[in-house]
A and B are shown apart, each in its own frame.
Chain A
Amino acid sequence: MKQRRFKAIAVGLSLAVGLSLSACVTDDSTSAEGDHTIVIVPKDSTNPWFVRMEEGVKAFASDSGLNVYQKGPSETDATMQAQVIRDLIAQGVDAIGVIPVDPGALEPVLKEAMDAGIVVVTHEGATQENTMYDIEAFNNTDYGAFIMDNLAEAMGEEGLYTTMVGHVTNASHNEWADGAVAHAAEAYPNMTLLEAEPRVESQDDGEVAYQTAKELFKKYPDLKGIVGTSSFDAPGVARAIEELGLTGKVFVSGTGLPAANKEILEKGLVQSLTLWDPADAGYALASLAAKILDGEEIVDGLDLGVVGYESMQFSSINPKVLEGAGWVVINKDNVDSFGF
């Protein structure tokens, strides 16, 4: 009996291990002649977000004529990402642009790269120590203000609103929401925050966003707008707006990908959503690496040659972090133009 149990456990374990190992590193390197080789290492090469990023990387390659390509692990895994970087060091590339899965886990391998004389830059890795510069698409407070501008436009710059975050513990969502509230207080005197429920949670779950929005509209009939942050918020709230018959009367804004939100934009349930285009970030990251390789001085106002990244500013908190204004608006008119 006991034997059999152990066997069963062993079989179960090896099954599980086998499954997690079944993903391995993909190799889509292209070799070409050029002065410099710049490689962008995303979190996960199969994720649509990074597939889109690769388009920007390719655009920079053809614009600059350098040997620039993207190469990443086949799943979001810090160890596998470190392995990819280690291979690149061995190949002797000139620059690496990393979107770290886990900044802490990458410190040793990035230090190795810098010690080997390779230019290292990062994106969405503000806490990374072993990097020369980290670029962020935008400053969180400014992005919040931008979301607010979009919501205010839909609401006619007046009425009661509240904010929705994935979790009240999520740092960036709350910074965006705080930025939105601060901006409204300054720029839109006729808009008021719902004091009874100033911040609700969607738990990064479209269903919860939907149920919560329904409750909010029932309880507060005067509520006219919701500032959404997580990508689950706007679609969930839009579902509630449609069902409750509030289309055109109440509004939601927030972050979202074009393809996932095409329908609610076209139906007019949501006027506009904001996001940053990963292709632009990829372009900017490669461009930054090239500038460093060319020996250009990195100062405030740096132009990385793509919309939103034309005037990079150093962060007031972290001297290694450069912030752009790399957000874009999607609405029913341009939703088909992104291709992701």
Chain B
Amino acid sequence: MKAIVHKLTRSNEFYVFLVIVALSVVIQARSGQFFTANNLVDIANAMVVPGLFGIGAFMVLVSGGIDVSFPALSSLAVYATTRVLVDAGYEGALWLPFLLAILLGGILGAFNGLLTSRIAIPALIITLGTASVFSGIMQGALNSVQIPNIPTAMKEFGTGALFIATNPDSGLTSTMPVSFLLLVGVLAVVFFLMKFTTFGRAIYAIGGDESAAERAGFKVKRVKFWLYVLVGVIAAIAALVRTSMMGQMHPTNLLGIELLVIAAVVLGGTAITGGTGSLTGVVLGTLLIVIVQNSMILVGIPTFWQRFSLGVLIIVGTGISAIQLSRSRKRSIVTV
């Protein structure tokens, strides 16, 4: 028991959890709306897309890398998918949009994977570059415009409800989207992958000490390559969910979300220096950001201060990582 308490208090996740609880209580006190069925469903709904992106960002961070290209990557993959299907007048089932998006996401991810595993440039620089290339292809070569009508299968998937929560007082109804299952599913798969496969442990090992991983016999380059492919696939799924739920394809809708996603993951305790982090932390960090994002009006924070608050959260999130970084550097100076 004591050991569990000790372990808990040493983990980032525990503190994020406490913050979430405190925040929820404050929001409830100020609005009386937080702990209502429909509001909780709304928050779950809003978590799906950032949560999926967060899972990908988490995996890359654990490996000691960083990926800022996933919004551009996934926008390109899903824009191309939607464009092709709409132009072809596709009226079929959902598997084809998913297959196309996953394929394209994987191919674009492979591009990231090749560059990061073969060239000795920091992943940040590489993915900044590929992000420009991806959005360049989308906006330049594909001439992206808003696509108002997406294939019926996608639309039905986007509006499909697992259940509908009704607020007994106001009568307002909120839809728990089918895509929430997708978030749960991807979480489960990635949890298994990270915990019970040599591939997942290799990601942790590489993040801990890349040269030690090489010496221990891990195929570092191969692992990195497939990691970025996988992250591309997850990102494409996230963007497909966003497009389906919006019922329209807005090509630039996701650009810029990377800051928020990475801040959420780091808030949840994933080290920006690589090697440590948990999916629990990813979920909690994302939950925290989503709650803040979706409770400003409930709490009554004026419009001007809403972005300020979110900015503070991003600074705290990325600030934690900066402190981690300087600490680890200090440690290495002292032991030299």
Q: B residues within 8 A CB of A263?
A: 148-149, 247
CB proximity to B under 8 Å, residues A250-276: 257, 259-263
Interface residue A168 (Cβ < 8 Å from any Cβ of B):
yes
* Contact present for B247 and A197 (CB under 8 Å): no
CB proximity to B under 8 Å, residues A176-222: 196-197, 199-201, 205-207, 210-212, 214-219, 221
Interface residue A22 (Cβ < 8 Å from any Cβ of B):
yes
Q: A residues within 8 A CB of B175?
A: 243
Which listed residue (B120, B132, B170, B253) contacts A218, Cβ 8 A?
B170
Q: A residues within 8 A CB of B248?
A: 206, 235, 260
CB proximity to A under 8 Å, residues B272-314: 293-298, 300, 303-304, 306
* Contact present for B31 and A219 (CB under 8 Å): yes
* Contact present for B173 and A219 (CB under 8 Å): no
Which listed residue (B120, B253, B304) contacts A207, Cβ 8 A?
B253
* Contact present for B303 and A199 (CB under 8 Å): yes
Which listed residue (A196, A201, A206) contacts B253, Cβ 8 A?
A206
Q: How far is the CB of B22 from chain A (nearest CB, A)?
A: 20
* Contact present for A245 and B120 (CB under 8 Å): no
Interface residue B140 (Cβ < 8 Å from any Cβ of A):
yes
Q: How far is the CB of A28 from chain B (nearest CB, A)?
A: 16
Interface residue B162 (Cβ < 8 Å from any Cβ of A):
no
Q: How far is the CB of B302 from chain A (nearest CB, A)?
A: 8
Interface residue A79 (Cβ < 8 Å from any Cβ of B):
no
Interface residue A317 (Cβ < 8 Å from any Cβ of B):
no
Give the number of A-B contacts (CB < 8 Å): 112
Which listed residue (A20, A46, A221, A244) contacts B173, Cβ 8 A?
A244
A232, B247: Cα distance in complex, Å: 12
Instruction: Output the residue of A12, A20, A232, A235 with the most chain B CB within 10 A.
Output: A12
Interface residue A90 (Cβ < 8 Å from any Cβ of B):
no
The size class of the interface chain A forms with chain B is: 35 or more
Q: A residues within 8 A CB of B55?
A: none
Per-residue CB proximity of A13-45 to B under 8 Å, as 1/0?
A: 001100110110000000000000000000000
Which residue of chain A has its CB nearest to the CB of B167? A218
Q: How far is the CB of B212 from chain A (nearest CB, A)?
A: 21
Interface residue B121 (Cβ < 8 Å from any Cβ of A):
yes
Interface residue A298 (Cβ < 8 Å from any Cβ of B):
no
Q: How far is the CB of B157 from chain A (nearest CB, A)?
A: 15
Q: B residues within 8 A CB of A215?
A: 294-298
**Which stretch (B38-46, B83-91, B222-230) binds chain A?**
B38-46
Q: A residues within 8 A CB of B120?
A: 1, 4-5
Per-residue CB proximity of A50-89 to B under 8 Å, as 1/0?
A: 0000000000000000000000000100000000000000
* Contact present for A245 and B294 (CB under 8 Å): no
Per-residue CB proximity of B127-150 to A under 8 Å, as 1/0?
A: 001001100110011010110110
CB proximity to A under 8 Å, residues B109-133: 115, 119-121, 126, 129, 132-133
Interface residue B246 (Cβ < 8 Å from any Cβ of A):
yes
Q: A residues within 8 A CB of B39?
A: 218
With A1-B120, A206-B250, A217-B172 already in contact, the answer to whether A16 and B129 are too (CB < 8 A) is: yes
Which listed residue (A75, A211, A218, A235) contacts B38, Cβ 8 A?
A218
Q: A residues within 8 A CB of B141?
A: 19, 22
**Could you pull out 28 A-B pairs where Cβ atoms are within 8 angstroms?**
A5-B120, A5-B121, A12-B126, A15-B133, A16-B129, A16-B132, A19-B133, A19-B137, A19-B140, A19-B141, A20-B136, A22-B141, A75-B140, A196-B300, A197-B303, A201-B306, A205-B253, A211-B293, A215-B297, A215-B298, A217-B172, A218-B36, A218-B42, A218-B298, A219-B298, A221-B170, A243-B173, A261-B148
- Chain A contacts to B: CB under 8 angstroms: 1, 4-5, 8-9, 12, 15-16, 19-20, 22-23, 46-48, 75, 168, 196-197, 199-201, 205-207, 210-212, 214-219, 221, 232, 235, 239, 243-246, 257, 259-263
Q: Lowest 3 A-B CB distances belong to which pairs?
A: A260-B148, A215-B297, A245-B173
